[in-house]
């Protein structure tokens, strides 16, 4: 990389440094990284039987992944504003490959739980790559670039369920973690080879960096609103994806792990929304993307509520839910990244920590509500959380327009 190219990278001019091939690599890397947090979802019934875990304990694997990811967002992602980003991303991907091997060889539930938490902790490398791409992108293309990388991320999250179910049918649940460890190791090598160096030193110690990240919630009102919207959005999303495994594996449908995993293909249809939302953000319509997205998120639960008696309603609700969730996520990121570009990693850390904290809460609540009230209670919970996103957006527009 030449000195001129390095200067362009440091200042976010992506014309020379962010080629289409590199963008696709970054999108694939984020998808593979985040996929590790969702491999267990279609396997909850199988893991519960093989490792002698109850439904609530099995669902804790999903919650553990969200908690581990949240800790990584809080403690690791801000480092992107402190150290050289390529080195940080490569080290985190390498660590993820190692921790996947811990899960692959886990002899019992507690060891699998530990491997899940550690893998999720370092899988936040995906959230290093997203602002990395945003920084390399030309300002007029930033929304589309974020949309492309986030499409990769969301496809990874959704298709992970399909791949996980298929691999578990072929070779058992351990095969899922072995295969992912090999793929993550391969991506680590590619990122080391092709990512440009990017270092924007800020002159802060690590403790000061963490304090400044937390302080952003006090100083940036837009961040507070968007963090709340993000948290409720993922909570609603995770309520569905945690509880639907128990519904489909139960006596009403009796699906296998592979069949449950195929449900991710239905949800993946909605990923096209991410690119469209990015283009609309580039044209100045980011607020309307959020409003329409949060309204659609709430409406999706009207369809999902009927899933206990009809798979058609479930499929329709899944598509709407995923489209809405991704539109809200993309608009949140575009709003936050535009606030203060020089601290983009810390802004991303603050936003996504709240985001995944909401996801962890949604997973935990879904398991409890399912055991006590079945699918009807799950649908009410998911719908209330989704309605909360719309209320927060409406309040944000009202309060900020007055200030």
For position 272, which CATH number holds? 1.20.1250.20
Q: What pLDDT, on a 0 to 100 scale, did the predictor assign at position 403?
A: 60
Q: Range with the lowest mean pLDDT among 163-167, 258-262, 376-380?
A: 258-262
Token pair of 78, please?
A: 């801000």
Structural domain of residue 340, as residue ranges? Answer: 14-402
Q: How many domains does the chain have?
A: 1
pLDDT in tens, 48-76: 777 777 666 776 787 788 788 888 988 89
Contact (Cβ atoms closer than 8 angstroms) between residue 217 and residue 227? yes
Structural domain contains residue 357: yes
The span from the CA of 218 to the CA of 307, in Å, is 42
Q: Nearest-5° angle of CA 99, CA 180, CA 263?
A: 120
| Mean of all residue pLDDT scores within the chain | 84
* Residue 1 placed within a domain: no
What is the per-residue pLDDT for 267? 66
Residue 371's Cβ-side half-sphere holds a number of Cα atoms within 13 Å equal to 11
Q: Which one has a higher pLDDT value, 242 or 224?
A: 224
Task: Assign residue 374 a region (left: φ > 0; alpha: ψ between -120 and 50; beta: otherwise).
Answer: left
pLDDT grade for 302, boundaries at 50, 70 and 90: very high
Alpha carbon separation from 281 to 296, 307, 323 (Å, rounded): 18, 33, 16
Within-domain flag for 133: yes
Confirm whether 279 is domain-assigned: yes
7 assigned to some structural domain: no
In a domain, 4, yes or no: no
- Model pTM? 0.70
- Whether residue 272 is contained in a domain is answered as yes
Residue 118 is assigned to a structural domain of this protein? yes
Tell me, what's the pLDDT at 146?
A: 78
C-alpha to C-alpha distances, 198 to 17, 94, 132, 203, 338, nearest whole angstrom:
11, 19, 8, 16, 19
């Amino acid at each position: 990389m030449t000195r001129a190219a390095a200067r362009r990278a440091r200042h976010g001019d992506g014309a020379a440094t962010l080629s289409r091939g590199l963008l696709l690599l970054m999108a694939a890397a984020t998808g593979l990284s985040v996929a590790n947090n969702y491999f267990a979802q279609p396997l909850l019934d199988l893991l519960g039987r093989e490792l002698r875990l109850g439904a609530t304990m099995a669902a804790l694997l999903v919650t553990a992944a969200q908690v581990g990811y949240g800790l990584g967002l809080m403690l690791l992602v801000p480092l992107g504003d402190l150290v050289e980003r390529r080195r940080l991303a490569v080290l985190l991907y390498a660590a993820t490959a190692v921790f996947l091997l811990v899960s692959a060889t886990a002899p019992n539930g507690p060891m699998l739980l530990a491997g899940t938490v550690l893998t999720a902790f370092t899988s936040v490398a995906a959230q290093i790559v997203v602002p990395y791409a945003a920084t390399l992108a030309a300002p007029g293309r930033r929304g589309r670039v974020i949309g492309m990388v986030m499409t990769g991320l969301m496809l990874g999250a959704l298709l992970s369920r399909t791949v996980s179910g298929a691999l578990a049918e072929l070779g058992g649940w351990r095969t899922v973690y072995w295969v992912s460890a090999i793929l993550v190791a391969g991506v680590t090598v590619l990122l080391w080879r092709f990512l440009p160096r990017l270092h924007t030193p800020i002159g802060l110690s690590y403790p000061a960096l963490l304090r400044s990240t937390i302080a952003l919630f006090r100083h940036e009102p837009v961040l507070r609103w968007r963090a709340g919207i993000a948290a409720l959005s993922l909570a609603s999303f995770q309520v569905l994806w945690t509880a639907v495994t128990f519904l489909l594996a139960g006596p009403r449908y009796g699906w296998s792990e592979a069949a449950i995993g195929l449900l991710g293909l239905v949800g993946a249809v909605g990923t096209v929304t991410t690119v469209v939302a990015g283009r609309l953000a580039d044209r100045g319509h980011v607020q309307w993307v959020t409003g329409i997205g949060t309204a659609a998120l709430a409406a999706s639960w009207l369809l999902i509520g009927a899933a206990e008696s009809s798979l058609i309603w479930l499929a329709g609700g899944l598509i709407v839910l995923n489209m809405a969730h991704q539109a809200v996520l993309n608009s949140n990121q575009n709003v936050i990244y535009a606030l203060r570009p020089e601290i983009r990693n810390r802004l991303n850390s603050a936003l996504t920590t709240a985001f995944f904290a909401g996801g962890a809460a949604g997973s935990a609540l879904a398991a409890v509500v399912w055991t006590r009230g079945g699918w009807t209670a799950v649908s009410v919970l998911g719908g209330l959380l989704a309605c909360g996103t719309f209320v927060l957006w409406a309040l944000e527009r009202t309060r900020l327009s007055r200030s």
